């Protein structure tokens, strides 16, 4: 995510090399007036701009190569820290939201952060939220109060926590309870069950929903159909009371197929042998399976090594956003590392291969892969690179092998083992191409195998 270079522009009027800010303000006085004026204006135009005079041509440029670098030279506290998260425009392009001189809006914003249209609301310039609530659906009234009612653009923190991942002013449910008093009416609507420490966004969409009461996209059948007493007894002393001795015993009364899979898996997943609600929310969520707090963090809570990998600059979308279960069997499987395919190539080419064939789910905005076992958003494959592979060759250059190279003298023997993991990391990398050992995409990397190139 490179920032836009600060290109030098030709000034319409010739200037002297030693021009000062007073001369600039003779024409640009409007830049120093407004309801919200950038404090840097007081330090003079040349604190940010540089005048270059070559013969009879005057050019004006920023004192740094990018606008981001210039802004951070004063606003160092806005710099995103490694492994943490911040609203993307705030990371790379300050002037996408701010006027660098003056504005009628606080913090020199180009537009206000409230309003129901793209023309009125700065946030809606990028985010399509609250526009298309379906008939019979619901829309959060807080949208009309302005996006900054709940969100803080420059909040910088652990991407594994919802407070920072969603750029919220504070964690939930504390943020929700600022407006929604935990009174008798709210308790009644939750069937008297305690919710004071719950993650409201597991059951409710904070913006809009196709369902009433802002209910999430995916809901557990007993919860959606108000069959609460099939799992719950009345709460006691402010605590949840189940109809079974524990959550696992309760879940397997309906999901005995998953219990059998966990018990008989050739490669077991230790995490699946504990309480089901350690990973799944029993009511609903933003993704199939109701993983909590999300399909990635649910796994990273135990897998600390992979959690460290998620701090790298470039992350594989399935691993970092979609969810670990895109590639791994969460309840146990037949293959090493709980992979959904027997070989790395077969796994990767399910999405990246020329024969990738995601199947649409009738009546839902979803597609499936791995014979229907994995559900993905219907637009998922718009950004997936399809590799032009034929007969085990063709990436990254024509005729380059992507599968094992056999010995010409004995085709039953492997001369050189080659698969996707020979060159790529599956989770993340410090470099864009996600090459092994965080190496850059250059000839030095190729020479690790092609030693003859150095001779």
Compute CA 81 distance to the chain's CA centroid, rounded to the nearest angstrom. Answer: 16
Q: Is the peptide bond between 293 and the residue preceding it cis, with omega within 30 degrees of 0?
A: yes
454 has a pLDDT exceeding 80: no
Per-residue b or e along 351-374, where b marks 16 or more CB atoms closer than 10 Å to that residue's CB: bbeeeeebeeeeeeebbbbbeeeb
The arithmetic mean of pLDDT across residues 386-391, rounded, is 92
pTM: 0.73
pLDDT of residue 452: 77
- Is the pLDDT higher at 299 or at 192? 299
Write down the pLDDT at residue 6: 55
Using the predicted structure, report yes or no on whether residue 7 has a pLDDT greater than 70.
Answer: no
Residues in the chain: 455
In DSSP terms, 328 is beta-bridged to 339
Mean pLDDT (the chain, rounded) = 89
Question: What pLDDT digit, counting tens, does each position of 162-178 carry?
Answer: 888 889 999 999 999 99
Q: Is the pLDDT of residue 79 over 90?
A: no
Examine the pLDDT at 161 and tell me if it is beyond 90.
no
Cβ(247)–Cβ(240) below 8 Å: no
Tell me if 128 sits within 8 A of 121, measured CB to CB. Answer: no
Q: Is the pLDDT of residue 66 over 60?
A: yes
Element holding 35 (H helix, E strand)? none
Q: Which long-range contacts (CB under 8 A, 24 or more apart) does 313-317 make?
A: 313/429, 313/430, 313/431, 314/428, 314/429, 314/430, 314/431, 314/432, 314/434, 315/427, 315/428, 316/425, 316/426, 316/427, 316/428, 316/434, 317/383
Confidence tier at 3 by pLDDT (50, 70, 90): very low
Lowest-pLDDT range, 77-86, 283-292, 402-411? 77-86
Contact 105, 35 (CB under 8 A): yes
Pairs from 303-312 (Cβ < 8 Å, separation ≥ 24):
306/427, 307/160, 309/425, 309/427, 309/428, 310/83, 310/159, 310/160, 310/427, 310/428, 311/82, 311/83, 311/428, 312/428, 312/429, 312/430, 312/438
What whole-number distance in Å separates Cα of residue 195 and Cα of residue 54?
A: 69
Average pLDDT over residues 421-427: 96
Span 209-264, pLDDT tens digits: 989 999 998 999 999 998 998 999 988 888 888 999 888 999 999 999 999 999 99
| Average pLDDT score over residue span 120-132 | 85
**Mean pLDDT of the 418-429 span:** 95
């Amino acid at each position: 995510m490179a920032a836009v270079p600060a290109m030098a522009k030709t000034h319409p009027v010739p200037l002297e090399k030693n021009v000062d800010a007073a001369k600039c303000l003779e024409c640009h006085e409007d830049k120093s007036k407004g309801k919200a004026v950038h404090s840097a204006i007081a330090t003079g135009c040349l604190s940010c701009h540089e005048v270059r005079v070559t013969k009879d041509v005057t050019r004006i440029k920023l004192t740094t190569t990018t606008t981001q670098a210039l802004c951070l030279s004063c606003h160092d506290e806005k710099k995103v820290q490694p492994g943490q998260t911040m609203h993307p425009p705030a990371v790379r392009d300050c002037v996408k939201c701010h006027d660098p001189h003056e504005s009628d809006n606080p913090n020199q914003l180009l537009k206000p952060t409230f309003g129901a249209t793209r023309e009125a609301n700065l946030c809606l310039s990028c985010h399509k939220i609250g526009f298309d609530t379906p008939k019979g659906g619901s829309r959060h009234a807080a949208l009309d109060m302005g996006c900054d009612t709940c969100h803080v653009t420059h909040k910088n923190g652990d991407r594994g926590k919802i407070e920072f991942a969603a750029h919220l002013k504070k964690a939930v449910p504390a943020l929700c309870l600022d407006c929604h008093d935990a009174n008798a009416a709210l308790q009644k609507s939750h069937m008297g069950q305690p919710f004071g420490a719950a993650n409201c966004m597991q059951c409710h969409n904070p913006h809009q929903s196709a369902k009433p009461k802002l209910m999430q996209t995916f809901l557990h059948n007993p919860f959606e159909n108000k069959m609460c007493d099939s799992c719950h007894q009345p709460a006691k002393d402010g605590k949840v009371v189940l109809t079974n001795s524990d959550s696992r015993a309760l879940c397997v009364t309906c999901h005995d197929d998953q219990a059998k899979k966990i018990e008989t898996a050739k490669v077991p997943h230790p995490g699946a042998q504990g309480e089901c609600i350690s990973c799944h929310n029993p009511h609903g969520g933003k993704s199939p399976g109701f993983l909590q707090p999300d399909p990635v963090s649910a796994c990273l809570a135990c897998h600390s090594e992979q959690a460290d990998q998620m701090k790298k600059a470039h992350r594989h979308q399935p691993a970092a956003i979609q969810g670990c279960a895109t590639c791994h069997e969460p309840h146990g499987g037949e293959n090493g590392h709980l992979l959904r395919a027997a070989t790395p190539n077969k796994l990767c080419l399910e999405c990246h291969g020329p024969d990738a064939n995601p199947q649409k789910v009738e009546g839902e905005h979803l597609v499936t892969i791995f014979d229907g076992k994995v559900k993905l958003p219907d637009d998922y494959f718009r950004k997936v690179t399809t590799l032009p592979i034929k007969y085990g060759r063709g990436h990254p250059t024509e005729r380059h092998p992507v599968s094992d190279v056999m010995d010409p003298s004995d085709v039953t023997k492997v001369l050189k083992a080659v698969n996707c993991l020979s060159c790529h990391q599956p989770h993340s990398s410090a470099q864009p191409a996600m090459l092994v050992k965080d190496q850059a995409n250059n000839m030095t990397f190729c020479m690790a195998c092609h030693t003859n190139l150095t001779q």
